Amino acid sequence: MAEDDKHLIREFISTNMQGVPVDDDEDLFASGYVNSLFAVQLVMWIERTFDLQLVGKDLDFANFSTIDAIAAFVDGKRTLAGGGAWTSN
């Protein structure tokens, strides 16, 4: 996982958690800041940002519980899809 990708994930989560700092291994669901709307927004953002299509089996809480877990999940989906690192235009 490129550090740039992890930075994007961290920035999105921090912005949507009203700027509250979040450690990469902190459980987002236990923090009390994550609700179902945020979870849906996060999934949609991941699909758009990293050009991935998430299906039912991907929507496991474990894949989205921490920044580290999200980064590993995105990296794994890319590997399965044979994609490279995401770059902005």
pTM: 0.83
Alpha helix segments (H runs only) across 1-89 = 3-16, 36-50, 67-81
pLDDT at position 44 over 90: yes
What integer pLDDT is reported at residue 59 of this predicted model?
A: 92
Q: Percent of the chain at pLDDT above 70?
A: 89
- Is residue 27 within 8 Å of residue 68, measured between CB atoms? no
- Is residue 87 within 8 Å of residue 8, measured between CB atoms? no
Higher pLDDT, 10 or 81: 10
pLDDT at position 88 over 50: no
